[in-house]
A and B are shown apart, each in its own frame.
Chain A
Amino acid sequence: MAVQYIGLKEINGPLIALDNVAGVSYDEVAEIRLDDGSVRTGRVVQIDGSRAILQVFEGTKGLSLKNTRTRFTGKPMEMPLSEELLGRVFNGAGRPIDGLGEIYAEKYADINGKPLNPVSRSYPRNYINTGISSIDALTTLIRGQKLPIFSGSGLSHNKLAVQIVRQAKIAEESGQDFAVVFAAMGVKNDIADYFRKSFEESGVLQKVVMFLNLSNDPIIERILTPKCALTAAEYLAFEKNMHILVILTDMTSYAEALREFSSSKGEIPARKGFPGYLYSDLASLYERAGIVEGSEGSVTQIPILTMPNDDITHPIPDLTGYITEGQIVLDRSLDQNGVYPPVAVLPSLSRLMKDGIGEGFTRGDHSDCANQLFAAYAKVQDARALASVIGEDELSPLDKSYLRFGRLFEKHFVNQGFDENRTIDETLDLGWALLSTLPRSALDRVDEKLLDQKYDPDKAVQFTD
């Protein structure tokens, strides 16, 4: 019988303090049994001599200084793992909530994970065909990448994520095992439902592991949710050789939970009240994407975050952008113009794209096409700014053709149906056709030889405004 500590010294938000405890180690997990028989879980976050501070995952509601018995387990937070995870639903702390019973564990793993040695990584190079032109051509998703979607409230990020999962799956079916790990942090009930239903409709539900921490669930559990999800993902990828797509939504809720927890610990805040270690903390999640040398599997992450007030310089998108390998930014004005997916092409970026496209991966002319599209679309913005001052009629003929290119590009290239799955050839040919609406001399990023092959004003006539 292990030692139980009766009562508490102090309760403060989600934190409790115990005095006169012996042999407690940093980060270990404790079980807190209430007098009414319910059990909560806590984790040691600070030790001062014989005093231990614990965070309680389920919150401290109902706890008093007298009614608890605390038992330390001597282990950090662990999660049971086996292939049975597939198709199951868990809460944020990794406990099954689908009524199908406990997982029969093949092994247990610390949910915090360990840093992956940079020399043991292999550099991701294989691209994932998502069938979405704006992503495939301009911000190519690479297997083993972490590519977040920066969105705003009310934009169609969830729909986009579902489309990526569904269409990426089709491309994967030829080869190895493919599975999705879905972690919901502080999302609304109906959003979680939407994902579940979409997975079911596209027939991947048996290949999905879901971790649900809904917006009314405790915040400490929210901090654990992505860690549990990534532990499951790493296990399936690197021990079971599967290709795992991890969707983390919504990282903003996660970071806010971290802030709430930090302030109740009385820590010194950095920017906008977020703790100084927000960067390190986010990195400890995002860096768990990748490919380990010698393993067949991979972990690809698509974190979704809603930018507070659509502000990309807010600490959460800002720090995320510094860690992840690019970002897909959604734009409200495109959305209002009925463009789906409303991908803002210019601020979107895929850092791993340069090594994963071209001959042998996608097509030899991919990078030229993408560069020229970016450059031309950047000119569109200048022309639009000018037009808003002097009026469209006063523009030079070149600027007018940029304006037209911009409209066509958004309407035919960025915009596509929810069920439309374009091949990379279709996407790139479409790109060249759109570029052909511009005068040839405006295409200064492509060398003449390639232009001879690809520049074809005849193809440009197909587009109507």
Chain B
Amino acid sequence: MNTVFSVNGPVVKVRDASDFAMMEMVYVGADHLMGEVIGVNAEETTIQVYEVTTGMKPGEPVMGTGAPVSAVLGPGIISNIFDGIERPLKKIEELSGAYISPGSNIESLDTLKKWDVTLKVSVGDEVQGGAIFAVCPETPLIEHRCMIPPNMSGEVVFAAENGEYTINDVICRIKSPDGTEHDLTMCQKWPIKQSRPFDRRLPVDRPLITGQRVIDTILPIAKGGTAAVPGGFGTGKTMTQHQLAKWCDADIIVYIGCGERGNEMTQVLEEFSGLIDPKTNRPLTDRTVLIANTSNMPVAAREASIYTGITIAEYYRDMGYHIAIMADSTSRWAEALREISGRLEEMPAEEGFPAYLPSRLSEFYERAGYVENLNGTEGSVSIIGAVSPQGSDFSEPVTQNTKRFVRCFWALDKSLAYARHYPAINWNNSYSEYTDDLGEYYYKNVDKDFLPYRQRISSLLIEENKLMEIVKLIGADVLPDDQKLVIETARVIRVGFLQQNAYHKDDTYVPLDKQFKMMKAILKLYDECRSAVEKSVPINRIISTGIFEKVIKMKYDIPNDKPELFRRLEVEIEQTVKKVVKACTEEGR
């Protein structure tokens, strides 16, 4: 029997063992703590333990399982809350009370619950890996589709009657071409560090609509895309992620709280069960999976939580759903890698992070994508990862390496957050590479002018940025009127458009059509004023009519379901400016 030789925090070593494989899952010690083999050589096997090793002694047994660390995939995942190694936290609470005790070995999914299963195959059918052989309603929103494991195929030799089954009941049996028979239940296991296969990648050309103006309009993300949200503490990373989790148009949200605050997870739990999704009229929890490995839970499981989350996402993608993953925060995951690496006395690269940090990050982000699945359905996994740069310094390794592997970069800005401009995404140093890919979608589904308007809005902001350099030196009063107009319009864009109030019932989610109409109104204001300024009308005269403030407040004044009011606003803009022009020309005479 293999036994523990040394213990150093979460790292345990076993001497003279040859029967362990890399990445194999093991049970360590008398309490059967779960662990993973992370290093093997002739003398020593190194294991990282996913739980606290307090009280462990040399000589305690170590048992291999012969399989890599895997996630259990089956009905019962949605609306559940798991820890980093897919243990249901509610069950742990029933077993060990408010505090988590080590060695809580419990089933990931409820094995007693009966699901109302409808079989989709019959005896004699030829099935391939990924084929859907049974379905059951998992929540009122999500139909769970049981699939043949990807590496299996053959002829169906048994199919159960439709009816109520638990996840471990055999409901189907297939015979492989080589003659072996496989029992199929509603659940399957999949190694968390291996991506699930699909048929082929499809172009990412549909937006993930979030209802957040600065994202949808200025810095859009595609379904199947990747985005990073870096920001120092207090800039609203978590808030942004919560907003996206609540409102984005994915079918399923996987929210990974990786090394973050316990109260935040409690908040997600409470808030999401109370919030009703306007599209489906069901609580948001019906489409959400939470993975909570808070900052005080064991560090090795923090590393696993990211992989557990993405494996669950891929599983639902295979069924033909669109998934959005919120990973908050990937920096904590990177720090977990650093901590384990330090315990292994590996040679550090930058700032103590291991040299394999970039390759781990790229492996993770590359699991996103819009794909055609093995069973012919289409699904997508979009990843939105928060990054918590040390000292708010974006040049640190995690931010820099993440930047290389994502195509959307939503940089949160301290000075915006200080001014309580939320979402504090800085439009000057953020970018999205998806704008062009999504152009056609916006053209067809919103308006043909969407992209040109967006371009004009961005240009105004860039121009303002340049002018601000001058204003900082000499003040705004000395600028010529056309430049003053740019500064005023940019203010309308910043306060009236980019800034969005998550606590306002209409402003928290804004449909694309309203976003477009808001842009249109702002540009209308700009154009009208500009032609007035060209007729030498002083811009201050127009500003003093209060029309700029009126446009700023359109986000509150015009409800989401009354877009026709924009017409009235545009007329008002036109007439106000016209009145001023008229007054000025009369005075001129």
Contact = CB atoms under 8 A, between A and B. Distances in A.
B73 interface: no
A277 B339 contact: yes
A26 B420 CA distance: 47
Interface string B248-264: 00000000010101110
A395 interface: yes
Contacts of B335: 276, 279-280
Interface string B337-371: 01101100100100110000000000000000000
Contacts of B338: 270, 276
B58 A280 contact: no
A314 interface: yes
Interface string B179-200: 0000000000000000000000
Which applies to chain A's interface (DSSP): helix, strand, loop or mixed?
Answer: mixed
Contacts of A325: 261, 263
B297 interface: yes
A233 B101 CA distance: 20
A114 B503 contact: no
A347 interface: yes
A12 interface: no
Interface stretch (B202-210, B428-436, B438-446, B470-478): B470-478
Interface in A94-119: 110, 112-119
Given A352-B263, A390-B474, A47 B6 contact: yes
Counting chain B CB atoms within 10 Å of each CB, the highest count among A280, A315, A441 belongs to A280
A49 B100 contact: no
B519 interface: no
Contacts of B352: 268-271, 276
B400 interface: no
B339 A26 contact: no
Nearest to B344: A268
Interface stretch (A3-11, A80-88, A120-128, A420-428): A120-128
Interface in A253-304: 267-271, 275-277, 279-280, 283-284, 286-288, 290, 292-294
Nearest to A346: B418
Given A276-B335, A279-B332, A290-B263, A270 B351 contact: yes
Interface stretch (B87-95, B120-128, B318-326, B459-467): B87-95
18 contacts: A24-B58, A26-B55, A27-B55, A112-B54, A115-B294, A116-B100, A117-B92, A117-B98, A119-B266, A120-B97, A124-B263, A277-B339, A279-B335, A283-B295, A322-B388, A346-B418, A394-B477, A399-B475
The 7 closest A-B CB pairs, nearest first, are A313-B391, A283-B295, A378-B419, A321-B233, A270-B352, A287-B296, A120-B98
Interface of B: 5-9, 13, 15, 52-59, 81, 89-90, 92-93, 97-101, 232-234, 257, 259, 261-263, 265-267, 269-270, 292, 294-299, 332, 335, 338-339, 341-342, 345, 348, 351-352, 388, 390-393, 414-415, 418-420, 471-477, 495, 503, 546, 549, 552-553, 556
Interface of A: 23-28, 45-50, 76, 110, 112-124, 144-145, 238, 267-271, 275-277, 279-280, 283-284, 286-288, 290, 292-294, 313-315, 318-319, 321-323, 325-327, 346-347, 349, 351-352, 354-355, 367, 371, 374-375, 378-379, 385-386, 389-390, 394-396, 399, 441, 444-445, 447-448
Given A284-B296, A389-B474, 14 more contacts: A47-B58, A48-B5, A48-B13, A49-B5, A124-B263, A145-B263, A268-B352, A276-B338, A287-B295, A352-B263, A355-B267, A386-B471, A386-B472, A396-B475
